[in-house]
Amino acid sequence: MHINIFSSESALAEAAAERIIAQVRENAEAVIGLATGASPVAVYHAWGKGAATLGLDQSRVRGFALDEYLGLDPEDSRSYHAVIRRDAVAGAGLNAELVLIPQGSGDPEAPAAYERAIREAGGVDVQVLGIGRNGHLGFNEPGSPAQSRTRVVQLAASTMADNARYFDRAEDVPTAAITQGLGTIFEARELIVIAVGEAKADAVAAAIEGETTEDLPASLLQSHPNVHWFIDQAAAAKLSESVALVAAV
Ligand code: GLP
């Protein structure tokens, strides 16, 4: 694992964006895995800005989102369809037609169709990930099998509590989602994990320095051959001194 700790979020975003841009420069049809959440937003903007500065043609870049709530209309501003269009597609300057997002309609065929689409695209070159306070990846909550594939899942209580800020009423917060599985995510050839803010400090320390366990899905990242962590100082606060010293950028 490559661990990078930054003192400013803009430096973090630029460094993470550089890795994505390097892939696109190498392959105009690169396949990028896209995460929702607040953490990667600055990265998407830095990516878009960097690509524009280089005059990079991104019209053939392909994207796959990690997850979607079950039961929200794709036009609903709180759906991940809307979030990915706004933050990732518009932020990074992607071709919306080439960005796929799992269907949260409850169609029983949707998980297998999504897996097939990723496979037919040749797999994901670089996957952007955030991390939940409980160590989840996508919507793979604690206890998710390491080999899991795209499927419908129930959300953990702590995840629903974290997501409640996006909904006016508690009863509107979705309780289920469709998510790429951990096995699906770990097939990406490179993983970029973004963690910002003190709320993530416990999960980051456990994921990087704790035992690898399905009880904390992000700890399973330790066994992936090509993981790059981009962490701000607040999220890095609970790492041991020896790790933090080496990782400071
Ligand atoms: C949601 C998403 C995750 C994301 C997490 C953290 O649960 N399904 O993919 O990593 O939120 O979001 P944030 O970056 O806003 O803390």
- What local confidence, expressed as pLDDT, does residue 245 receive? 83
Q: Which residue has the CA at smallest separation from atom 10 of ligand 1? A: 130
89 in a domain, yes or no?
Answer: yes
Ligand 1 centroid to Cα of residue 111, in Å, is: 20
Q: Of 141, 162, 190, 232, which is the active-site residue? A: 141
Ligand 1 centroid to Cα of residue 55, in Å, is: 31
Among 34, 36, 191, the mutation site with the greatest number of ligand 1 atoms within 8 A of its Cβ is 36
> Can you list the positions of beta strands (E) in the chain?
2-6, 31-34, 62-65, 67-69, 99-100, 126-129, 151-154, 176-179, 190-195, 227-232
150 in a domain, yes or no?
Answer: yes
Q: Is the sign of the CA dihedral 136, 142, 147, 153 positive or negative? A: negative
- What local confidence, expressed as pLDDT, does residue 133 receive? 96
- What local confidence, expressed as pLDDT, does residue 145 receive? 98
Does the active-site annotation cover 136?
Answer: yes
- What local confidence, expressed as pLDDT, does residue 213 receive? 98
Measured in whole angstroms, the distance separating CA 224 from the mean position of its chain's CA atoms is: 15
Does the active-site annotation cover 141?
Answer: yes
204 in a domain, yes or no?
Answer: no
Q: What is the mean pLDDT of each run of 10 residues along the chain (249 residues)?
A: 96 98 98 97 98 98 98 96 98 98 96 98 98 97 98 96 93 96 98 98 98 98 98 97 86
Q: Of 9, 14, 45, 67, which is the active-site residue? A: 67
Does the active-site annotation cover 140?
Answer: no
Residue 173, domain CATH: 3.40.50.1360
1 in a domain, yes or no?
Answer: no
Q: How many domains does the chain have?
A: 1
Does the active-site annotation cover 67?
Answer: yes
User: Cβ < 6 Å from ligand 1: which residues?
Assistant: 35-39, 66-67, 130-132, 138-139, 159
The atom number, within ligand 1, closest to the CA of 197 reads: 16
64 in a domain, yes or no?
Answer: yes
167 in a domain, yes or no?
Answer: yes
**Which residues, at least 6 apart from 220, have a Cβ–Cβ distance to it below 8 Å?**
146, 182, 186, 212, 213, 214
87 in a domain, yes or no?
Answer: yes
- What local confidence, expressed as pLDDT, does residue 246 receive? 83
CA–CA distance, 10 with 16 (Å, rounded to integer): 10
For residue 50, the enclosing domain spans: 8-126+134-187+214-226
194 in a domain, yes or no?
Answer: no
- What local confidence, expressed as pLDDT, does residue 244 receive? 86
The atom number, within ligand 1, closest to the CA of 130 reads: 10
Q: Of 14, 81, 134, 232, which is the active-site residue? A: 134
Among 129, 131, 198, the mutation site with the greatest number of ligand 1 atoms within 8 A of its Cβ is 131
